[in-house]
């Protein structure tokens, strides 16, 4: 989940450029950061400040999401070996680091951090005592267990050495310089040419370019590929936070996706439709926000008579029965979610076919799939996903339409814009909700996934305990938690009498009721917002966008760090 960057240039560049590139990956972790430019080691706690006055032709940098060891300068990357000969940055988890550490301690190595990553620097230094770096790196590959993307610098070499196993790593080929990073977003404004590392591959990157090898040190060819990606984040100040900016970009993002599904992505979309028709069973594999989008997708497709199941990827192998007649559709914003990757490995081992819905082109999940669609939401800087969720849901609704679900997708952008004109009402609701310690969001059918996603957004951004649940489950236990003044947000689709009844039940026990509905007679109260759509498929998407705004305004009322919630990172590349 950490972010790594390395730059090798033909001519010297300011070391602060490393941090400028790293800041584009800060959503991957912001507990601490650091850089090493061959002379200077800089390590800091907290969010990235672009600083440093030196110049270099090669340097590495890291932004951390803590796994092993607390948040401190000594645990920040880069890590140096005992004699300072080796510097490394690492994303992933070294599972056998304690065993390796004990062996290195017996050889006289002394460690200064609590991290698993530091063992990589010492291990490489130990190898360099007896062999050249070209031989020490395959030994490192053999002995490290776990997941890693590693960038290493060795004193006296004007190169960066890169190793990859089950953590994302990509090389960007720019004019006069080469950049290594966890994500193409680190360099997508510099170049559209990249080389994507596969598992158990490494590279030596110098001023004249990169040489690639397999884990045994045998040379391999890795041509650069052209990728397409949104280049410009645009100004943030007009919205105040990236989260709000990205919510307000949803109409444009949906329009871009719909245009693509009728244009350059139409062949892949039609192929996915044919694949679903020929498959006995479809299982979605996803996590977090993407899981809630697939819950919506399962609802849409179930309405058309398809056999569809969705599973949280971390539990996939415990609940999925996969065979040659199963299509597993991975849904991931980053395309690098480790739990989803593991689910796909399980599906492949059991003969299942694999398709993917992602936001980042050429990501690991896309490359593992025989067929892939891109949601084209563009970059999300805020850790809490918003426009990616909406575009995932729209794409899944488009799939359902291909099987007969009645919906006019082309009206969604305008419906979202109409919703955004009610931001003042949503803000007022959110401010009142923010006064409470707990909030419950209830839905049924279509709106149950939206209840789950809205609760997640409130938890992520405001730190209020929020529970999204089926309205029918209230009386099976949770209603015991309702007391006078407890806020309950009810998602009422088309005057559904069952969810209205559930709403009345909690109201009778003193709950303060808030309503999102498309029923005209239920939306006039000050605690209600009417969403203009008669189609229940679109109502789920609009209600989710309204929930995002409620979460944003609640967090703003409480003064939370909205774009960088505590303890979270955007791309979950560890298990």
Concerning whether 570 is annotated as a catalytic residue, the answer is yes
d(CA 405, CA 402) in angstroms, rounded, equals 7
Residue 181 gets the label, from left (phi > 0), alpha (psi -120 to 50) or beta, of beta
226 beta partners? 193
- Residue 391, φ and ψ in degrees, nearest 5: -70, -35
- Residue 44, φ and ψ in degrees, nearest 5: -140, 155
Cα dihedral 398, 449, 517, 563, rounded to 10, equals: -90
Instruction: Assess whether the previous peptide bond of 78 is cis (omega < 30° from 0).
Output: yes
- Considering only CA atoms, which of 346, 348, 353, 345 is closest in space to residue 370? 353
d(CA 68, CA 39) in angstroms, rounded, equals 27
Pairing mode, strands 528-530 and 326-332: unpaired
d(CA 358, CA 506) in angstroms, rounded, equals 39
Give the position of tokens 């245009």: 259
Catalytic entry in 2, 23, 287, 382: 2
Concerning whether 2 is annotated as a catalytic residue, the answer is yes
- The DSSP result for 346-380, as a single string, is HHHHTT-EEEEEESSTT-HHHHH-SEEEE------
Cα dihedral 111, 117, 123, 128, rounded to 10, equals: -100
d(CA 544, CA 504) in angstroms, rounded, equals 22
| Strand order through the sheet with 528-530 | 465-470, 438-443, 487-492, 512-517, 528-530
Pairing mode, strands 512-517 and 487-492: parallel
Instruction: Assess whether the previous peptide bond of 100 is cis (omega < 30° from 0).
Output: no
Question: 197 is written with which tokens?
Answer: 């590392």
Which residues are known catalytic residues? Answer: 2, 570
């Amino acid at each position: 989940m950490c972010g790594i960057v390395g730059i090798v240039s033909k001519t010297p560049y300011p070391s602060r450029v490393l941090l400028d590139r790293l800041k584009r990956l800060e959503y991957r972790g912001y507990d601490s950061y650091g850089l090493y430019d061959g002379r200077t080691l800089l390590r800091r706690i907290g969010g990235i400040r672009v600083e440093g006055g030196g110049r270099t032709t090669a340097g590495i940098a890291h932004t951390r999401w803590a796994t092993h060891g607390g948040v401190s300068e000594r645990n920040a990357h880069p890590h140096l070996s005992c004699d300072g000969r080796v510097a490394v940055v690492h994303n992933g988890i070294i599972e056998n680091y304690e065993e390796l550490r004990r062996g290195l301690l017996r050889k006289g190595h002394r460690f200064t951090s609590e991290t698993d990553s530091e063992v990589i620097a010492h291990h490489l230094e130990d190898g360099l005592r007896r062999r050249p770096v070209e031989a020490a790196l395959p030994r490192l590959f053999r002995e490290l267990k776990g997941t890693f993307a590693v960038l290493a610098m060795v004193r006296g070499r004007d190169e960066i050495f890169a190793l990859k196993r089950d953590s994302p790593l990509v090389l960007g080929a720019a004019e006069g310089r080469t950049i290594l990073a966890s994500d193409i977003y680190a360099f997508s404004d510099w170049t559209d040419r990249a080389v994507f590392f596969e598992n158990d591959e490494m590279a030596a990157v110098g001023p004249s370019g990169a040489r690639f090898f397999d884990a045994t040190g045998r040379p391999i060819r890795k041509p650069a590929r052209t990728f397409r990606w949104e280049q410009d984040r645009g100004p943030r100040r007009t919205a105040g936070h990236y989260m709000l900016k990205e919510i307000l970009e949803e109409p444009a993002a949906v329009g871009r996706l719909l245009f693509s599904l009728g244009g350059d992505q139409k062949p892949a979309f039609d192929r996915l439709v044919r694949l679903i028709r020929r498959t006995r069973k479809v299982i979605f594999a996803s996590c977090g926000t993407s899981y809630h989008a697939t819950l919506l997708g399962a609802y849409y497709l179930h309405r058309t008579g398809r056999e569809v199941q969705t599973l949280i990827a971390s539990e996939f192998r415990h609940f999925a029965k996969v065979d040659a007649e199963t299509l597993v559709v991975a849904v991931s914003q980053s395309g690098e979610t480790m739990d989803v990757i593991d689910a796909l490995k399980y599906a492949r081992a059991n003969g299942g076919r694999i398709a993917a819905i992602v936001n980042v082109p050429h990501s690991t999940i896309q490359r593992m799939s025989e067929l892939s669609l891109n949601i084209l939401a563009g970059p999300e800087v805020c850790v809490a996903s918003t426009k990616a969720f909406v575009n995932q849901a729209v794409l899944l609704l488009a799939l359902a339409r291909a099987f007969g679900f009645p919906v006019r997708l082309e009206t969604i952008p305008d419906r979202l814009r109409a919703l955004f004109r009610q931001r003042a009402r949503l803000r007022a609701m959110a401010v009142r909700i923010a006064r409470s310690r707990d909030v419950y969001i209830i839905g049924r059918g279509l709106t149950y996934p939206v209840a789950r996603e809205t609760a997640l957004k409130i938890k992520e951004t405001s730190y209020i305990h929020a529970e999204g649940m089926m309205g029918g489950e209230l009386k099976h236990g949770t209603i015991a938690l309702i007391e006078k003044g407890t806020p309950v947000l009810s998602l009422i689709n088309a005057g559904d009498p069952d969810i209205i009844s559930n709403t009345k039940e909690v109201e009778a026990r003193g709950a303060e009721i808030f309503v999102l509905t498309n029923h005209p007679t239920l939306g006039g109260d000050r605690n209600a917002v009417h969403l203009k759509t008669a189609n229940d498929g679109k109502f789920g998407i609009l209600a989710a966008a309204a929930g995002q705004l409620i979460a944003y305004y609640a967090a703003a009322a409480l003064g939370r760090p909205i774009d960088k919630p505590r303890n979270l990172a955007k791309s979950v590349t560890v298990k």
